[in-house]
Chain A
Amino acid sequence: MRLRRWLPFDPWHLVLAPVCALLAAPLVWMTVSSFMSNAQLNRFPPTIIPGSLHVDGYRSLFHDAALPTWFLNSTIVSLVCVVANLVFCSMAGYAFARLRFRGSGLLLAVMLGTLLIPYQLTLIPTFIIMEKLGLIDTLGAIIVPSLVMPFGVFLLRQFFLSLPREVEEAAWIDGCSRWAILWTIVLPLARPALATVAVITFLVTWNDVSWPAIVISSEARDTLPLGIASFKSRAQTNPGAIMAADVLATLPVLLAFLAAQRTFVRSIASGAVKG
């Protein structure tokens, strides 16, 4: 508290600012290097501040690669997953929070237990299921396993538990069915938690590279991370294009986060208080 008198800002900023810089550094470096030529990028020691700016990376990206296709594929996958998670996670979360049915505790435990199983262990069984569904090498193989995420169910359940029960009871007495209560009362109140689920789902599905790499083989179905990864394996590595593609791939994520930031932060904060 005494420090506060001497500094024009909160002393915590002395700790937070360097951490912030550390976290921002890769993003800044990525953006800067996307405007460098391959010659500047291959130099040693590396160029920190380029003498001139180039857009070669972006040009080759739009001319030589199927960027629009990758973008479209990624957008389809992420949007479908976000919408599906919002619908299914809120329904499941509400059931776990409010409905009394036999075995609900066990089901919840099993569902949460799946969070403890390493992703690698479920790769082969999931692949077999996708194959039996005939979805291999389609976007469906990426979408279906991510339609409902246990974390989203859990997060929404916790949020629903924190809502006053009486509001729902009042709606019940006012003549609402369970469905109507969920859609007209609970979900509008759960906007911060829904935003959190949406952002997390978007991040996870947009950035995922390993699962799409396993189930997608044709280039026309590549998602953005797959397409970017394919740059490296091509005969000639094009670091400028990779950096440019990374910037473009990160933009939607940043925009999604900025758009949902206020509600997102609020839900994390309320979660911290209400458990």
Chain B
Amino acid sequence: MAGAGGIRLDRVSKTYDNGVDAVRDVSLDVTEGEFVVLVGPSGCGKSTLLRMIAGLEPVTAGTVHIAGRDVTGVAPPDRDIAMVFQNYALYPHKSVRDNLGFGLKQRKVDRAEIARRVDEIGAMLGLGDLMRRRPSQLSGGQRQRVAIGRALVRDPAAFLLDEPLSNLDAKLRTSMRSELARLHERMRVTTVYVTHDQVEAMTLGDRVVVLRDGVVQQSDHPQVLYERPANLFVAAFIGSPAMNLVDARAGGGRVVFAGHEIALPAGSPLREIDGHIVLGLRPSALELDGPRANREWPAMRVTLGLVEHLGDEVHASFGLDAPRVTAEAVLAASDSAEDGDARLLADDERARFTAVLRGRTRVAAGDTVTLRVDHTRLHAFDPETGRSLAAPADEGAASYTPSTSTPSAASA
């Protein structure tokens, strides 16, 4: 049950006039003060869901509660929410001051009180010198601050943010991201945040809800999503670089794929599987063989294709003698994932693995190297349904008690 300032969605659905199901049977509890991120590829229904909370989009079925009040049929102005739009949606013909104060003025707040609150928010967001300017005279970051200020000044029960950083350049986006986190730390207002960027989702959210085709795939603490993805879609979507996936065969205490064989350690949950699986392996679970490498981990000998030196770490990718995993869920996730692994060359139909190697490793494209595989961190997915069959035994994940965890409905 949502607290006093929380948001509760109870089996909400949205079907558009043209018959498209944008959101299907979504239930979600956002507790008071919680920061929940809705994430998924474009067209997954995350923005529609947010607009349904705002009241901009009527729900086809289900109910919406905000601060304990059923607002399903209530118009947006009476929901006590504030929203920040992707394109800021500032009033172009009004000054920054008037933009900030507009909502209060509409609510017939006393003029002196409006001035006081606008000045307070302006000072907090560093807008003091810009108060007289029009939005067209502001930079992207300044506009963003005004848009956020306009939401803050009303002191609403909940904030709704629709991809607020996607129009900013990469550097500004990173700094605004941490500013937003600090802001939430200070204000502790219930927040629902929509993004397609999984890095934003992972860094900002107390909880992340992964959506695909209007269906909640998984809703949990970001670390749990990363370590124990409920299905192939979440596995492929969360994490950068994306999880390595390959068709494999499990049985007899081993996993065999593309001419490689990995012996499973005692206690590995994969030992209980016998048959075809999609094997998942995080790029960070691969390590270059060397004196400091863990000798107990099985080895793979590979020829590196692409090597990217990023300073502290090296991303090395290599082809495997196996076809790419073409499960629909994986394709849907990689279409949108912004980790640069969208294919450039159409002729490479082989599966590719990426290894994130720590330290200043001297490797180059074309080198044949031995990699050690952390066989305690293998994931197995059902090749038909995409559902997770086995995930690494809990390390830190169990400490984040999932408040709502909706298993995948269908993600074949």
Instruction: Write the residues of chain A forming the contact surface with B, with a CB cutoff of 8 angstroms.
Output: 164, 166-167, 169-177, 180, 185, 188-189
Contacts and interface: CB of A to CB of B under 8 A. Distances in A.
A159 to B, nearest CB: 14
B106 A170 contact: no
A169 B85 contact: yes
A31 B315 CA distance: 80
B91 A185 contact: yes
B77 A173 contact: yes
Contact of A173 (B76, B90, B92): B76
B338 to A, nearest CB: 23
Nearest to B108: A175
B77 A175 contact: yes
B89 interface: yes
Nearest to A187: B93
A167 B91 contact: yes
A172 B86 CA distance: 16
Interface of B: 54, 56, 75-77, 81-83, 85-87, 89-93, 102-103, 106-107, 150, 154
Nearest to B101: A174
Nearest to A170: B89
B89 A166 contact: yes
A101 to B, nearest CB: 13
A167 B77 CA distance: 14
Among A170, A172, A173, the most chain B Cβ lie within 10 Å of the Cβ of: A173
Nearest to B86: A166
Contacts of B93: 188-189
Contact of B103 (A164, A174, A185): A174
A170 B83 contact: yes
15 contacts: A166-B87, A167-B91, A167-B92, A169-B89, A172-B56, A172-B77, A173-B56, A173-B76, A173-B77, A173-B82, A175-B107, A176-B77, A176-B106, A185-B91, A189-B92
B87 A164 contact: yes
Contacts of B77: 172-177
A185 B102 CA distance: 11
B81 A173 contact: yes
A186 to B, nearest CB: 10
B106 A174 contact: yes
B137 to A, nearest CB: 16
A170 B85 contact: yes
Given A164-B87, A175-B77, A169 B103 contact: no
B89 A175 contact: no
Nearest to A173: B76
B89 A164 contact: yes
A98 B91 CA distance: 18
Contact of A172 (B76, B90, B154): B76
Contacts of B154: 174
Nearest to B56: A169
A176 B89 CA distance: 15
Nearest to B17: A100
A173 B54 contact: yes
Given A169-B85, A174-B102, 4 more contacts: A167-B89, A167-B91, A172-B77, A174-B154
Nearest to A169: B56
A21 B91 CA distance: 43
A162 B8 CA distance: 35
Contacts of A188: 93
A175 B103 contact: yes
Pairs of residues from A and B, 8 with the lowest C-beta to C-beta distance, nearest first: A175-B106, A174-B103, A166-B89, A170-B89, A175-B77, A166-B85, A188-B93, A173-B76
A255 B403 CA distance: 69
A180 B107 CA distance: 12
A246 B381 CA distance: 86
A41 to B, nearest CB: 51
A167 B150 CA distance: 13
